[in-house]
Structure formats: structure tokens, C-alpha cells
Chain A
Amino acid sequence: MSTRIFGEPIPRREDPRLLSGQGRYLDDLGHGALAAAFVRSPHAHARIVDIDVSDALEVEGLVAIYTHEDLPGQVGHPLPLLIPHPTLTQARTPYPLAKDEVNHVGEAIVMVVATDRYLAEDACQRIRVDYDFLPPVVGIEQSRAADLLVHDDVPDNVSAHMLQEVGDAPAAIDAAPHRLHLDLDIERSASMPMEGKGVYARWDADDRSLRVYTSTQASTSVRAAIAARLGLPLDRVEVVAPDVGGGFGVKIMHPWPEEVLVPWASITLGREVTWAEDRREHFVSSAHERAQQHQVDVGFDDDGRLLGLDVTFWHDNGAYTPYGIIVPIVTSTQLLGPYKPGAYRVEFFSLYTNTVLVTPYRGAGRPQGCFVMERTMDAIAAYLGLDRTTVRERNFIQPEEMPYDHGLVFQDGRPLVYDSGDYPATLEKLKKLVGWDEFEVFREQARADGRRVGIGIGCYVEGTGPGPYEGGFVKVETDGTVIVATGLTSQGQGHQTAFAQVVAEELGVPVDKVVVTTGDTRRFKYAVGTFASRAAVMSGNAVALATRKVREKALRIAGDALEADPADLEIVDGVVQVKGTPGATIPLSTVAVLSNPLRYAFDEETKRATQFAAPADVDKPPIEEGGEPGLEATAYYSPPRSTFANGMHAAIVETDPETAEIKILRYCVVHDCGTLINPRIVEGQIHGGVAQGVGGALYERMVYDESGQLLNASYMDFLMPYATEVPNIEIDHLETPSPLNPLGLKGAGEAGVIPGSAVLSSAIEDAEGIRITRMPISPSELYHLRQKESTTR
């Protein structure tokens, strides 16, 4: 029996290529293509009066200039609303090129195509746009005040207003022995992958077909959108996600204006056209997330048990809502974490502002929800004088209460029902890992040295692996190679390795025989995309199901060849054998040959499948009734609802009593994402998530001034952590398999980032003895909190 490959921390299959400079990211393609660049609005809110391109026409190498007026029919129409929702009554989506009005700095107005990017930018610089300025709406407070409107026809700047209730929370809170009110804010950040977006289109005029490469998290859906916009038959459009240099959510949004415009220009010009977003463009014309203001009213008993929780929050959705209101819906449902809230009422307003639009960034509303709930837990503990972990423990959903139905509707439109999880066990592991009960000793030692330290905790539950479905295609080639394809895309999650592990384990072949392709509509046409920690759950199970079908077929064909009952066969290292009978074997490669009855051989091996090669039952058709040639299968996995991973983080911080600098001394993670396919990849996902959590808590924010200018649209001033800002991360796993899917998987992609602000605010509060109610926090802000505290004491 070969050793298990599922669950092993094997090195990644994609690494040698990426490490030797042989990766192919978007801008590595199309060296001969024309380059596009855009004139983007320098103003947050303005009417376009005139566009004068005459100066730009002088630029040598200029090929074309397009404004909204040049875009025919559907091409120029507002981009689609991807996820409609009944409460999103005032959805607004942007035009690919602005028509009459711009609503944020960075909105595309003019597209320039030239022989290279340098020249395209030269032309952009020579284009004059005249504006009538309109007053901008910047920030949640100004939007709430609604003295000014982003869109004239959207009253109060409210795109959506949603309310969910379980029980009568206000009554429960009124009747509770203890009540607290909290105001809690989170600022804007962004996914900020190292590779920006990019699109490269090739129109084949003879074949009337279009191939588009785009740095996306959803190639099948981009394909559908392009075909619809450009009026092409779907089967004439291919969309390929090449190597993608990180996504973290921003590339699930689609179609971006450029995903429509670049292919359209390619067709119109009959030339290859490419556009690689530069960093400044990415800051002002992609998407941001996170900004929300929350008000919490909570009622609880003497033990700290929740009796009623009433949360109202205001979500900044930026200038447009093409992705719908997924982020605030996620916050409103996922803030409950591992707890039973008693009666629960949650209400949110999604608000327009004249800033970059908001779509999910890793965590997608969960970091805000976790921050709100965990700050509330800490506040209750402080109020009652209880240990913070005690209050949490008392409110946990218990393992025996699973599946647990919150009575709410989740972001996938399905009931919010937790499938499994052992929260007390997770907490126990975390306390041990970080040394929670011994911390006071450390604090005293540190205090004696004049140092100030604190410990914090954050718990979360994350709905992962939402539907509707993903599919997998598995084929054994006649040389024994196993070809696997799934439609969702990869941005560094190691799918080529993890899915190969699933297939190798299910089929019984060496993992290095398995070749996985993702995100290429030429290979697999039906898919949803990579988001919401769903790839392993969805495509992992889909390829497992497809592999099982292939295995069954292989055993049937091998049974015929070996004259054995398929039930007595096994596949080990790519060879089908009769269990316990050495010698009776047939390689899978040969089974693949036999699976495809041939008239014409094409090499030595395939002679075996031709009509005179072996005696056959002449009364049976060469392919059995209902069968298909080839040792291949396609299968789909479509779950009834999301599966719920969970985790708990703890951090120990030190704050400098003089400079207010904040240093993370330890960061501990206990994580339960069900069965692990490859622990090394899962740990890598957690590391990266935690780094983004640290960034969001201590460093990163989008700073807009009152005129709607983004003041820190560069890596100089948007402070993504370097290695020196990220702590060493200590991880322990718990594996509670999901009962919802064949492999027992739960998603892991977003987990690491979720509790960052919750944990670090908790630790800083513990170190300082000052309430922390908004994140991120900088040393300058901590200094001022200290000043305020010392004057009010």
C-alpha cells in the first residue's frame, strides 16, 4: 500500500516554475501587443464639461483614443449589478468610461491605446478634461448627515437598509440585569495584491474568436460578462486566468471596466491590446473595504451571559455598488462568532461616498464583525470583573448543540446553520499555547523592568465554502498522466498541489503524475470563482467526486482485462492489481488505452485498443451502453449551505511608555478548518492572513481628505507591513471534519485575517488600561488616547 498523500505537508508542485522566473503573470504575456492607459478623474465629484484630445493626437505611437461617446451599445452601458438583493433598492454601477459625471478620484474617463505604455501615458497627459465641480461626500459621517448627495437620485445616500431579528432584542436588553452601549469603528483598507489587475486580449478575426487573459478570481464569470457586453456567442470567447499575483478579494469583483474595454478595443482595432494596472491606478481605481461605524447595545446577566444584542451599523460602500451588499451582510451575520447572542437584532445602512468603491477584501466584513463582538465580550468582562476567557466560555455554542441554527439568513441566501465545531476545546488549546493563565506573572516581571505589556484574545466563526457549486474534470491519459481541471482560479493558494493530493489519494497514483489546471475556460467552462474560503471545499470535493467516477470506470475496464471482479481490485501507485494476488496487474495507462476503443493506433501502446488486437465479445458494443470513451469523468459538488470553520487568536503586545510604539511579542493561533489536505499550505494561509490582520490593526488605512483625495496612494504611505512588522506566528490545529462534504473540509483562506483588530485592540487595552474603540491604531493615536485619559482622570 502506498503511503497517504492526502493530509501530508508536501512541497508545492507550482514552486519550481515560479521560483525560476518561469511564471506567466498577466504582464509577462503579449510583448507585441498595443498598450492601454487611462485618463482618470483627479476629482472626487464633478460633471464632465468637455474632453479635448487634440494635443494628444500629436503623440507618436498613438493608436486610438476612446471616450464614453465612442463606445457602442452595450459596451458603454453601466456595468452589471453582480449580486442583486431585495434590500439593495438603490444600486448604482459605474460606466466603463464615465458618462457626464465622475464620482471618485480614479474613475476612468478616457482610454488611450498606443504602441507602448510610455507613449500611452504621454498621450493621457496631453488630454484636457474640463469639469464642473460638485461637492464631494467623504466618510461615513458626512454621508450619514446627507446634507450632500453622491447620486442626485439616491435619498440620504443610502443604497441599502437591512434588518434581521431573532427574538425581541430591545426588550431582552431592557429586562437584562446589566447593559452596555459601545461605539466601535473600523477604517478603510484594501486587498492590495502585489500584482495589480491586468487584461490582455487577442481577437482572431478569421476565427471570429476572442481570447482574454485577465488577472481575475472568476474567469468563467468574466467570460460570460464579456460575451454579453460585446455581443459575442459565448463559445467564441475564452478567458484565462494566468498566474495571478495575489487577489485577496479585489479580483473577484468583475467585470472591471478594463475587462470590457480592452477586449472591445482589440476587436475594434484588430490588434492585440494589453493593460497592466500600475500601483497608483490600483489605489484609486480598484476597490477598498472595511470602513464601518457600529453601535452596540448589549444586555447580560451576572455571569456575563448574553441576553440580548442589538447592533446598528453604517457601511461605507464607496461610489458604486456593483458587488451588491455582501460585505455588510457578512458582518451582520458573522459577528455572532462562536456565541449564542440571546435575542439578536441587527440593522445596517449601506452608504454612498465619493470614494473608491467597496468590494470584499479577505475576511469581507468578518474582521469588522469580529471586532464588534470581541470588543463587546471584553467590555462585559471588564464590567463584571471577570476573566475575558470566562465570559467567552459561558457564551459559547457547545459541541453537542451542533448543528446550530441562528435563525438568520447568511450571505449565500441559506440559513445560518453552523455544521460543527468544538469551541471550548479550541479555547482550551489557545490558552495553553499562549500561556493565558500564567500571563500575570509575565506582566509583573515586565512591570518591574519598566515595561508595559498586555494580552488579548479574539474568537471567530467563519462561514466558508458557499455554493452554488464547482466542478472537476479528471482524465487519465494513455501515458499515465492524470489531467485535472477545475474552473475556479488560483492566486497562490497552492491548488495545483492540494487538488493533486486529493486526486492522487482517491485514484491511487503518485502525486507527481497529476497535473492540475485552474481558471482556464478552455479547460473547464462551469465555475463560480475563488472567494469566501471556498476553493478547497468546493473544487476539492468536486475533483474527489470526479476521481471516484474515474476510479470506478478504471476498475470496471481493468476487471474485464484481468478477468476479475472489480470489487477485488485496488489501484496502487498507478497500477491496478488484484488484492492479495501478486502478478495480476495492469497499469492505469493501459486501462486508459483500453477505455478508448480505436480503429487507428497512433503509437505502440495504443495498438492494444484496435479491433484485431484481442478477442472480444462480439455481441457487445465496443463501448457499453450509456458509456463514453476515455478514462475520464466530470463531477460537480454543490453543497446545501456553507460550512463553518472557526479559530481563536491571542497576542501579547508591548507598548512603549514613552513613544507609544506598539510591538507584538507573541501571536498565537488555534485554527479548525476541518480536515487538512496539506497542513503546510493551510499554515501559509494563516500566516498571510495574520500579517494582513496586523496590517489592518496597526498600519494600513486609506486616508482621504475632505475633498476626496486619497492622500496615501503609494506604498510609501499606505503602510503594508514588512517582515520587521509581522510577528512570528505560533499555530496549533484542531480538526473537526465538516459533515457537509465528502472530504470533511472547511475553508481556510480568510481565517488568519479575521480577528486581527479584535485581538490587538484587546491586547493594547490590556496593556494600557485605556478603552480602544476604533482601529487601526497608530502610535500617534495611542499617544493622544493617553493624553486624553490622563486629563480625564
Chain B
Amino acid sequence: MTAAEQRHEVRLTVNGVPRRAVVPARRLLSDFLRHDLRLTGTHVGCEHGVCGACTVLVDGRAMRSCLQFAVSVDGAEVTTVEGCLRPDGSLGPVQQAFQDCHGLQCGFCTPGFVTTITAYLDDRPDDHPDPNAEEAREAIAGNLCRCTGYQNIVAAVQRAAEIRRADRAEASQ
């Protein structure tokens, strides 16, 4: 028998909730989220970092969860598509925008787009409050979708920004 693999305790704050599991060092963050934490909203499309379906926010930045080991981000704050909902459980701005604009078909790549766009809009708020179509297209240029032809996703980026502006206006009143 091969020796049992050494296992490591990994603690993450996922969508605001402290989570832990004990896993081998080689457990990819994508598998850790999906199978150890059973947050299956994060999808795996290529496992070589090209498709973007597995994108999550690690400490606020969009990253490929298939290209890092869970143990390597021990202690980090992670946001997945499940964490992009509003506090009351309704669709968050980006998710709502996708429904409004028919930005998804099979829905498999969608979580990676939702997280990527969330990061884009939140990242440098002063930079992206109102992206034009070209900027919106650029913002999603690292994610593959085989269903939509991207046109409605581009529209969803702009619609999401619009919802966020409305949210902020409401919040500041």
C-alpha cells in the first residue's frame, strides 16, 4: 500500500461563514469548495485555468479556484456565487442583471461570470460605475461561454452596474 497522504487542516471564511476541513495538500480549491464544503455553485470547466467557470473571489480578488490549492489559501476570505446573493437571499445585482438580460443559457459557466463581474464592479468602484459596452466586454474577456455568444452577458455587466448605482443612490438617501 502507498503511504496515506499527509492531511492539512484548512480554515477559510466562505461567504462570511467560517469553514474548515482536513484535506491533502493537493486538494484544489475548486474541489475543496465543491466536494469538501459542498458549495457546488463553483463549477469546473477545464482545470487548466482557461475557462474561468471556477472563478471565485479570494480576499476580494477574482481568481481561478482550479489553479490553487486549498491549503495555500488557508485563512483567506472566499466569496463564491452562493455568496453573491443579497442578504435577504434574493438575487444580487449581478445575478439579477443576468436574468434581466438573458445572460445565461445552460448556466454552467455562469457562476464564474457572476464572480468575475462582481469583482470587476466592486474592485475599484470609482473606475467601473458605468462601463460602456467595450469595457464591459473587456471585463469578461477571460471567461468562456459556449451558449450565449456573450452579447447578453455584456449587457448584463452594464445592467448590473446600473442596479448597483440605483442601490447606492437609495443607500445614500
The residue of chain B having its C-beta at the shortest distance from the C-beta of A694 within the complex is: B149
Say whether A246 contacts B81, CB under 8 Å.
Answer: no
A 16-32 to B, binary, CB cutoff 8 A, 1 in contact else 0? 10111111110110010
Chain B residues closer than 8 Å to A15, beta-carbon distance: 98-99, 104, 107
Pick from A19, A58, A716: contact of B48, CB below 8 A.
A716
**Whole-angstrom distance between the alpha carbons of A720 and B82 in the complex?**
27
How near does chain B come to A197, taking the closest CB pair, in angstroms?
13
Contact call A684/B99, Cβ cutoff below 8 A: no
Q: Which residues of A contact B80 (CB under 8 A)?
A: 21
CB distance from A302 to the nearest CB of B (A): 41
Q: Do the beta carbons of B141 and A722 come within 8 Å of each other?
A: yes
Q: Which residues of A contact B102 (CB under 8 A)?
A: 11-12, 680-681, 683-684
Q: Chain B contacts of A27 at CB under 8 A?
A: 34, 40, 44
Chain B 63-81: CB-based contact to A (< 8 A → 1; otherwise 0): 0000000000000000011
Expressed in whole angstroms, the Cα–Cα distance for A19 and B115 within the complex equals 11
Tell yes or no: B1 within 8 A of A by CB.
yes
Among A11, A24, A726, contact of B149 (Cβ-Cβ < 8 Å)? A726
Cβ of A299 < 8 Å from any Cβ of B?
no
> With a CB–CB cut-off of 8 A, which chain A residues contact B106?
193-195, 243-246, 491-492
Is A714's beta carbon under 8 Å from chain B? yes
Closest A residue to B85 using CB positions: A20
- Asked if B129 CB lies within 8 Å of chain A CBs, one says no
The distance in angstroms between the C-alpha atoms of A614 and B63, with both chains bound, is 66
Closest residue to A58 on the B side, CB-wise?
B2
CA A685 – CA B147 in complex, angstroms?
7
**Considering only CB atoms, which chain A residue lies closest to B53 in the complex?**
A194
**Any chain B CB within 8 A of the CB of A159?**
no
Q: Are B91 and A20 in contact (CB under 8 A)?
A: yes
B104 A18 Cβ-Cβ under 8 A = yes
Q: Which residue of B lies closest to A9 (CB)?
A: B102
* Interchain CB contact under 8 A, B144 and A715: yes
A722 and B110 in contact, given A684-B148, A687-B151 (Cβ under 8 angstroms): no
The reply to whether A722 and B143 form a contact with Cβ atoms under 8 Å apart is: yes
CB nearest to A362 among chain B residues:
B146
CB under 8 Å from chain B, chain A span 167-220: 192-195
What residues on A are CB-neighbors of B5 within 8 Å? 60
Which of B91, B138, B147 counts the most chain A CB atoms within 10 A?
B147
**Is A279 among interface residues, defined by CB-CB distance under 8 A?**
yes
Q: How large is the interface on B (under 10, 10 to 19, 20 to 34, 35 or more residues)?
A: 35 or more
Instruction: List A contacts of B149 (CB < 8 A).
Output: 684, 686-691, 726, 729, 752
Interface residues of B in 70-118 (CB under 8 A from A): 80-82, 84-85, 91, 95, 98-100, 102, 104-111, 114
Q: Which residues of B contact A1 (CB under 8 A)?
A: none
Q: Are A21 and B81 in contact (CB under 8 A)?
A: yes
The complex places the Cα of A491 from the Cα of B91 at a distance, in Å, of 22
A724 at interface by CB-CB < 8 Å: yes
| Residue from A18, A243, A691 whose CB has the most chain B CB atoms within 10 Å | A18
Does A14 touch B at the CB level, under 8 Å? Answer: yes
Interface contact A715-B51, CB-CB below 8 Å: yes
Within 8 Å of chain B (Cβ to Cβ): is A118? Answer: yes
How distant is the Cα of A193 from the Cα of B41 in the complex, in angstroms? Answer: 17
**B50: interface (CB < 8 Å):** yes
Measured between alpha carbons, how far is A245 from B105 in the docked complex, in Å?
Answer: 9
Chain A: how many interface residues by the 8 Å CB criterion?
A: 59
Is A492 a contact of B34 with CB atoms below 8 Å?
no
- Are B108 and A20 touching (Cβ within 8 A)? no
From residue B105, how far is it (CB to closest CB) to chain A in Å?
A: 3
B137 contacts chain A at the CB level, 8 A cutoff? yes
A494 at the interface (CB under 8 A from B): yes
Contact A16 B151 (CB under 8 A): no
Q: A194-B53, A195-B45, A714-B50 are in contact. Are A692 and B146 (CB under 8 A)?
A: yes
Contact A724 B138 (CB under 8 A): yes
Q: Which residues of A contact B143 (CB under 8 A)?
A: 722-723
Bound-state Cα–Cα, A61 to B107, Å: 33
Measured between C-beta atoms, what is the minimum distance from B83 to chain A in Å?
9
Q: Per-residue CB proximity of A116-159 to B under 8 Å, as 1/0?
A: 00100010000000000000000000000000000000000000
Whether the Cβ atoms of A726 and B150 lie closer than 8 Å is: yes
A728 in contact (CB, < 8 A): yes
Taken together as a complex, chains A and B put the C-alpha atoms of A28 and B41 apart, in Å, by: 8
Min CB–CB distance B84 → chain A (angstroms): 8
Q: Is A662 an interface residue (CB 8 A)?
A: no
Determine if B50 and A12 form an interchain contact, defined as CB atoms under 8 angstroms apart.
no
- Interface check B60, CB cutoff 8 A: no
Q: Report A-chain residues with C-beta under 8 Å of the C-beta of B48.
A: 279, 714-716
Assess whether A492 is in contact with B107, with CB atoms less than 8 Å apart: yes
Residue of B nearest to A278 (CB): B47
CB of A345 to closest CB in B, whole Å: 37
Q: Contact between B147 and A492 (Cβ–Cβ < 8 Å)?
A: yes
Q: Which residue from chain B places its CB closest to the CB of A279 in the assembled complex?
A: B46
In chain B between 141 and 173, which residues have their CB closer than 8 angstroms to a CB of chain A? 141-154
Other-chain residue from A11, A118, A246 in contact with B99 (beta carbon distance below 8 A): A11
Instruction: Write the nearest CB–CB distance from A13 to chain B, whole angstroms.
Output: 10
Closest to A193 in B: B146
In the complex, A14→B138 CA distance in Å? 27
Residues of A within 8 A of B124 (CB): none
Task: Tell me if A286 counts as interface (CB < 8 A to partner B).
Answer: no
Pick from A11, A192, A691, A716: contact of B150, CB under 8 Å = A691
**Contact A724 B141, beta carbon cutoff 8 Å:** yes
B128 within 8 A of A: no
Inter-chain CA distance A774–B95, complex, in Å, is 41
Residues B43 and A245 in contact, CB atoms below 8 Å apart: yes
Q: How far is the CA of A195 from the CA of B109 in the complex (A)?
A: 8
Known: A279-B47, A715-B51, A723-B137. A19 touches B105 (CB 8 A): no
Query: Which B1-55 residues sit within 8 Å CB-CB of chain A?
Result: 1-5, 24, 26-27, 34-35, 38-48, 50-51, 53
- Asked whether, in the complex, the Cβ of B50 is within 8 Å of the Cβ of A688, the reply is no
Whether A194 and B45, one on each chain, are in contact in the complex, defined by CB atoms closer than 8 angstroms, is yes
- Tell whether B140 is near chain A: CB-to-CB under 8 Å: yes
B50 touches A28 (CB 8 A): no
Alpha-carbon separation in the docked complex, A647 to B99 (Å): 27
Q: Does A493 contact B (CB under 8 A)?
A: yes
A59 at the interface (CB under 8 A from B): yes
CB neighbours (8 Å) of A118 from chain B are: 24, 26-27
CB-based contact B99/A194 at 8 Å? no
Task: Find out whether the CB atom of A14 lies under 8 angstroms from the CB atom of B107.
Answer: yes
Contact with B along A305-337 (1 / 0, CB 8 A): 000000000000000000000000000000000
A16 — which chain B residues lie within 8 A by C-beta? 91, 95, 99
Interchain nearest-CB distance for A36 vs B (Å): 15
Q: Which residues of B contact A460 (CB under 8 A)?
A: none
Q: Is A95 an interface residue (CB 8 A)?
A: no
With contact pairs A58-B1, A194-B146 given, residues A23 and B140 touching in the complex (Cβ less than 8 Å): no
Q: Which of B45, B50, B145 contacts A716 (CB 8 A)?
A: B50
Return the chain B residue nearest A493 by Cβ: B105
A23 contact set on B, CB distance < 8 A: 41, 107-108
With A687-B149, A688-B148 as given contacts, are A25 and B104 in contact (CB-CB < 8 Å)? Answer: no
5 A/B residue pairs, CB under 8 Å, sorted by A: A60-B2, A60-B4, A60-B5, A245-B43, A689-B149
- Top 8 A-B pairs, shortest CB-CB distance: A21-B41, A245-B108, A492-B106, A687-B149, A18-B107, A492-B105, A691-B149, A715-B50
Residues of A at the B interface (CB closer than 8 Å) are 11-12, 14-16, 18-25, 27-28, 31, 58-60, 118, 122, 192-195, 243-246, 248, 278-279, 491-494, 680-681, 683-692, 714-716, 720, 722-724, 726, 728-729, 752
Task: A716-B50, A726-B151 given; name 5 further pairs at CB < 8 Å.
Answer: A246-B108, A492-B106, A690-B149, A722-B150, A724-B137
